[in-house]
Structure 1
């Protein structure tokens, strides 16, 4: 079972190389579909998505690995795009175990014929609007696309479905502030979260083309939790996914520290923990007070790794980079002169505690790689 599942998760890495028409809020480069999926899922978390809606968001753009992105301001043959995406879904979700469930979630999202799917679609259509409008210097041609989208495009329905958020978008279009209420605070938090897409990690993509960023990693980790849920039947996977989505937000302020750098000690250093705590207080403090406290508590739960959900999330957070290194031929390990004993010592305990079968599967391949 695990061989097929890991092949799927490895293939999913390719979504990090699919560029979209949107750009990051600092205008530095195009956004890719993996970090977009993370950001949309974070929107969903902040605005009250169900676990099923979050699962749909994690999966919704995987078909772009085969079909690419189709910007809304360009004309497309909708029937041909739908046919190509259906073929891509059939290929990608062709897992030996569990693929049918994922395929059904993707199809439900596409059909938008359930409350969860409609909520997920709403998040997917709102995130690009505010990514343009909340940029420090919004690009005029992108602003024009947003205006047309709100007036006549797929976002026009939000005038009825979610008038508050359309009002906020139109305020920004007119050069006014959103306001000071809960919606404004949530949007400010989500805009700040965009910066996670520019935090680079030591790991490289599976194809070795560049370093992974922390937003992509957070999406991929949440996908790992969704797909590997069967390894932890007593764990609330919805909570694990939520932890994965927020667990590394503090790196906006403190950056990434590679697990195998500086002897691996930086991860446990008191000064590092204190810096991360301050970053969490600042970031979650942007949200409405009650929601900010709840997410702060969830982040602290992940860090402490004492509950079943946090133990599983922490184990996957150690497993994903190790497997990605294996899949890329160990390029990251060579850069830091990492040995088998170091990987076993720094990755093994957390993964084994999360799932002994998962560690056994990984360890067998680690031994073969380092041999």
Structure 2
């Protein structure tokens, strides 16, 4: 089991590099380019929010999994904007090789499952893949069109994409999105419908990409944001689900983790080693959940709020595993980047165990059994030289 878990962790470490792949799109606030990890998180959120608009033969759970994986190959081949001249056949071959390499880090059974799902998305033949592709066409469009002051070149690309590019087919397969996009481009009043009533929430969710956490990327060159963190721990939960203490519904866990940090848009990130007034923090997060989920239609508002509250309470087996993964990911990164947030907050091994061990062992004790010896060895190496020296 140790060898299998180590292989799974090796894959998850490599996946961290997706956070450094810049896309042609920029954030809604125009502050910087979007990266492919936070884009993948946002697309998974699009899938969950737009689920009522999917066909009856579409499994949203499978769509979410596809979207978590779909851009991983960009770790190797990079992002290729649709408006630039590209040898698409050559790129497809390079992406296939990259997929085989990356998923090949996993144990054989998982490698085949992940590769097959990625190939299904690329082939765009099944109802699940087709809906995932539709969302992948929509999100960049509306990231431009919902901005208060989008770059003129980006508007030009969006217009061309709708008029005769990859997104033109939305007029046939997702007309609600197509007509809303064309109305925004024309500056015309937009008719409220099942699509448009969900866009405000998805646009607001873009702000999670600007919430900076105390943890750093494994490369250590910058702090992680809460959107890419959410994507990464969803991947952690999927890959490591077999190590859960009790039987879990993996797709419910993924939905919890997809939503769990949304409240940080209003309430901010609060490092577990920082000085926090917990009552005040809880009140802020409750208010944030009410405002943000309140942007959605009533049924989704209630469902999303319930999922978020379940995660926070950590009473169900699904929530306990989700919490375990949320506590497990940052120590893996800190071990790779020389201490990370432990150095910033002068954390001792005893403090780390007190804050992290209970949550991990409650949901996935095998993960703690794997992690603890590495933590002990890391902190022992700093007995003579403090982490902040």
Instruction: Give the TM-score normalised by structure 1.
Output: 0.97
Contact 2:260/2:311, CA 8 A, preserved across alignment: yes
Contact 1:205/1:212, CA 8 A, preserved across alignment: yes
Which runs of no fewer than 5 residues in structure 2 stay unpaired?
52-58, 381-389
Please state whether the residue corresponding to 2:215 is helix, strand or coil.
strand
Judged with a 3 Å threshold, the aligned counterparts in structure 2 of structure 1 residues 177 and 138 are, in CA distance, closer, same or farther, namely farther
Match of 2:257 among 227, 244, 248: 244
Deviations 1:27-57 (A, max 9, x none): 0000000000000110001011611111010
Please state whether the residue corresponding to 1:208 is helix, strand or coil.
coil
How big is the shift at 1:237? Answer: 0.5
Whether 1:30 aligns to 2:33 is yes
Residue 24 of structure 2: aligned partner: 21
Match of 1:4 among 2, 7, 20: 7
Contact 2:50/2:195, CA 8 A, preserved across alignment: no
280-289 vs 41-50, which moves further: 41-50
1:351-362 equivalences in 2 (<5 Å): 351-362=360-371
Contact 1:25/1:132, CA 8 A, preserved across alignment: yes
1:341-356 equivalences in 2 (<5 Å): 341-356=350-365
Please state whether the residue corresponding to 1:31 is helix, strand or coil.
strand
Whether 1:208 aligns to 2:220 is yes
Which runs of no fewer than 5 residues in structure 1 stay unpaired?
none
Residue 236 of structure 2: aligned partner: 224
How much is the aligned-residue C-alpha RMSD, in angstroms? 1.1
- Distance in structure 1 (CA, Å) of the matches to 2:131 and 2:198: 17
Residue 117 of structure 2: aligned partner: 105
Please state whether the residue corresponding to 2:195 is helix, strand or coil.
helix
How big is the shift at 1:198? Answer: 0.4
Contact 1:182/1:287, CA 8 A, preserved across alignment: no
1:1-371 equivalences in 2 (<5 Å): 1-48=4-51, 50-94=60-104, 95-97=106-108, 98-232=110-244, 234-262=247-275, 265-266=276-277, 269-371=278-380
Please state whether the residue corresponding to 1:21 is helix, strand or coil.
strand
Instruction: Give the TM-score normalised by structure 2.
Output: 0.93
- Distance in structure 2 (CA, Å) of the matches to 1:161 and 1:42: 20
- Distance in structure 1 (CA, Å) of the matches to 2:29 and 2:107: 42
The total of aligned residue pairs comes to 367
- Distance in structure 1 (CA, Å) of the matches to 2:149 and 2:309: 35
Residue 385 of structure 2: aligned partner: none
How big is the shift at 1:166? Answer: 0.4
Contact 1:325/1:332, CA 8 A, preserved across alignment: yes
273-282 vs 96-105, which moves further: 96-105
Judged with a 3 Å threshold, the aligned counterparts in structure 2 of structure 1 residues 147 and 344 are, in CA distance, closer, same or farther, namely same
- Distance in structure 2 (CA, Å) of the matches to 1:185 and 1:368: 52
How big is the shift at 1:138? Answer: 1.6
Deviations 1:297-355 (A, max 9, x none): 11001100111111111111111112111121212211110011111110100100111
